[in-house]
Amino acid sequence: GAVVSQHPSRVICKSGTSVKIECRSLDFQATTMFWYRQFPKQSLMLMATSNEGSKATYEQGVEKDKFLINHASLTLSTLTVTSAHPEDSSFYICSASRGVSTEAFFGQGTRLTVV
Amino acid sequence: GQQLNQSPQSMFIQEGEDVSMNCTSSSIFNTWLWYKQDPGEGPVLLIALYKAGELTSNGRLTAQFGITRKDSFLNISASIPSDVGIYFCAGYYGSSNTGKLIFGQGTTLQVKP
């Protein structure tokens, strides 16, 4: 399968600071990328869908000003958690696909801890 | 919003047994995907299904896209200890430009040697 790299794998930040998470498709062009949040022992909750060159589409209840998503190129999408608070601590995972309704490949995930 | 109902929630089986899990929805999906997730890692794609009625195998894994496009199942034959993990179904729905990929609740599989 295709390779998606997510960085960093773990990050600890102070409350009030911002954190950027990168998601890269290493060997294919990803026209669509998805960002998920996963709580312990739960499923993946879709936060937003981004298509290259256009604004991300956020799911209901996800604050777009807090979770900034940029899909600047066909191989890179970033998620920035702004003014992080302890309740933002979670496992964030990105996935990338060549197009809608095609195979989606996942990064390794980022464990964010806000202290 | 759209929901995928995955069952069973968990399974504890003996090595060598076959396993079956399924996902259903009240909505039509364009594509069904099955993933396995190990703790602390991202999901790994196991099987992708694109056509209603499609039956696809990947080694000991077999999955089918339901005729109604509202369900899918995954079978694992002759389970082994390394099959342990959480299995998720996922489905695409929506238009060609705004499709979303959503996940079922997951099935936790434990295999007793």
Do the chains contact at A46 and B96, CB–CB below 8 Å?
A: no
Going by pLDDT thresholds of 50, 70 and 90, the confidence category of residue B100 is confident
Do the chains contact at B88 and A32, CB–CB below 8 Å?
A: no
Please, what is the average pLDDT of chain B?
A: 93
The pLDDT of residue A1: 65
Q: Is A107 on the interface with B (CB under 8 A)?
A: yes
Q: Which of A7, A22, A15 is nearest to A89 (CA)?
A: A15
Q: Is A28 on the interface with B (CB under 8 A)?
A: no
**Residue B17: enclosing H or E segment and its boundaries?**
none
Smallest CA–CA distance, residue A109 to chain B, in Å, is: 5
Percent above pLDDT 90 for chain A: 81
Query: pLDDT tens digit string along B29-72?
Result: 889 999 999 999 999 999 999 999 999 999 999 999 999 999 99
Which of A43, A59, A109 lies nearest to residue B103, judging by beta carbons? A43
More confident call, A2 vs B61: B61
Query: pLDDT tens digit string along A60-108?
Result: 999 999 999 998 899 999 999 999 999 999 999 999 998 766 789 999 9
Q: Is A8 on the interface with B (CB under 8 A)?
A: no
Which of A46, A101, A107 lies nearest to residue B42, judging by beta carbons? A107
For the CA atoms of A34, B53, B44, B97, the dihedral, rounded to the nearest 10 degrees, stands at -10
- Residue A22 CB-density burial (10 A; 0-12 exposed, 13-18 middle, 19+ buried): middle
